[in-house]
Amino acid sequence: MLVLTFIASAVANRVANRVLLVPMAGHTLLLSLATSTAQLTAYLLLLAWRAWKQLAISDMCQFVAAHWKLLLLVGTCEGAFYPLVFAAAAKLPGGLVQVLNQSVVPYTVAFSVFLLGRRYTPVQLVGVATVLLGVLVAVGLPAGSLWSHKVVMHDVLQCAGAYALLALAVTLKDRIFRNERETATTAVEEPQILLVSAVGAAVQLLVQLVAFPLAFPGHVHPDVLREGLDELMGRKLSSVPWIAFTYWVCNIIFSVSALRLVRRASASTVVLANVAALPLSALVFCCPLPLLKPQQFRWTFAMSLLLVAGGNLLYGRSSPKPSRTK
C-alpha cells in the first residue's frame, strides 16, 4: 500500500507541478516560497497531531539537538533545490524534466559512497551507468539535440544540478535515520520522520527568504511579487489556486511516503517504485493536459525511458553492500 501511495503521489506531484509552472513561469521564486510555507505548515500540523501521543516535547528537542548540523544541511540543500529546479523546469519539456529527475540515482550512489561508506555491486554500478546513459539520450547527447530549439543546455545543467542537491538532502536524511537507529533503543517512529521534514522545511524557507533575494534581486521587486501573488491567487486564471493546492498536497504525501519507504524498506524498494512512476509521469505529458499542449511522442525518448527503467531495475535488484567500518 505504501509503495502504491508513493507511485500515485509521485505521478500526481510531477504532473501538477509542470502544469502549475505554466502560469507561474515568471514567478518561480515566489512559487518556491509558497511551496516551502505550505510544506512547513502541513508538517507542523501533522507533527502536532501525532507527537502529543507518541513523542514528548523533550524528546523532540533532544532529537533536533542530536542532529542539528545534518538537519541544517538538509534544509539548505532543499532550500536551494526548489528555486533552481522550478526556474529550469519552467523552460523545459515536461517529459525531459522527468528523465532528468533520474540523475538523482547516480548522484545518490556517489553521495552514499562518500558520506555513508556504502559499497555497490558491479551489477548495481552497471545499472547506474545505464540510467545515466538514458538521461543523456533524453537530452540528445551525443547525437545532436533531441528537443531542437526547446532545450537550452544551461537549463538542462541547472535542472540536473538541482537534483544533485535533492540527492544530497535524501542521503543526509538517510544518515540521520541511521544515526538514530545506532544510538536509540527504539525504532525510528513516525513523529521523528515528520520532525525531520518540519525542521528541514523551516530551514528551507529561511534560505529562500534570505539567500535567494540577494542572489536574484529582480525576483523580489514589489511589482513582480504583486503580479506573482495575483497569478497564484487566481485573479488572472481562476484554476491556478486549485492546481497549486493539488500540487502541494501531492508533494507532501510524496515526501512523507518517500521518507517512510527509506525508513521501513530498503533503498532498492524506493528505486523499484520509482521505475513504475517514471514512465507513467513522463508519458502523461504526451496527453492533453490543462494549460499544456501534448508533448510529441518520440521513439528516442521512449528508448531513454527504457534505458532509465532498465538501469533502475539493475540498480535495485540487490541491496548495497554493508558500509565500511570507519
- One pLDDT digit (tens) per residue for the chain, 326 residues: 667 787 788 888 888 898 999 999 888 888 999 999 999 999 888 877 776 665 556 667 787 888 889 999 999 999 999 999 998 988 888 778 888 888 888 888 889 888 888 888 888 888 888 888 888 887 765 444 445 445 577 888 899 899 999 889 988 888 888 877 776 655 555 667 788 888 899 999 999 888 777 766 666 667 777 888 899 998 888 999 999 999 999 999 988 887 777 666 554 556 566 666 777 777 777 777 777 777 666 667 778 878 887 887 777 765 555 555 44
180 vs 184, 185, 260, CA distance in Å? 5, 9, 15
The DSSP secondary-structure symbol of 148 reads G
The sign of the torsion formed by the CA atoms of 179, 113, 270, 121 equals: negative
CB crowding 232-264: b at 16 or more within 10 Å, else e: beeeeeeebeebbebbbbbbbbbbbbbbbbbbe
Residue 263 has a pLDDT of: 67
Q: Is 326 exposed, middle or buried (0-12, 13-18, 19+ CB in 10 A)?
A: exposed
Give the residue from 255, 287, 224 showing the smallest Cα distance to 25. Answer: 224
**H helices within 90-189, ranges in order?**
94-100, 104-111, 122-139, 153-183
* Cell 504526451, residue located: 286
Residue 53 has a pLDDT of: 62
For the question of whether the overall pTM of this predicted structure is more than 0.85, the answer is: no
The angle formed by the CA atoms of residues 70, 74 and 77, to the nearest 5 degrees, is 135
Q: What are 271's strand-pairing partners?
A: none
Contact call for residues 161 and 88 (beta carbons, < 8 A): no
Please, how many CA atoms are within 13 Å of residue 247, restricted to the half-sphere of its CB?
23
Residues recorded for the chain: 326
At 119, phi and psi to the nearest 5? -125, 145
Residue 191 has a pLDDT of: 65
Query: Given its phi and psi angles, is residue 188 left (phi above 0), alpha (psi -120 to 50 degrees) or beta?
Result: beta
Give the residue from 21, 11, 46 showing the smallest Cα distance to 232. Answer: 21
| Cα gap 240→119, rounded to integer Å | 45
Residue 206 has a pLDDT of: 92
Per-residue pLDDT tens for 126-138? 888 888 888 888 7
Residue 85 has a pLDDT of: 92
Residue 302 has a pLDDT of: 76
The DSSP secondary-structure symbol of 150 reads G
Give the residue from 17, 46, 3 showing the smallest Cα distance to 284. Answer: 17
| Cα gap 250→323, rounded to integer Å | 34
- In order, the DSSP letters of 197-244 are HHHHHHHHHHHHHHHHHHH-GGGG-HHHHHHHHHHHTTSS-TTHHHHH
Residue 137 has a pLDDT of: 80
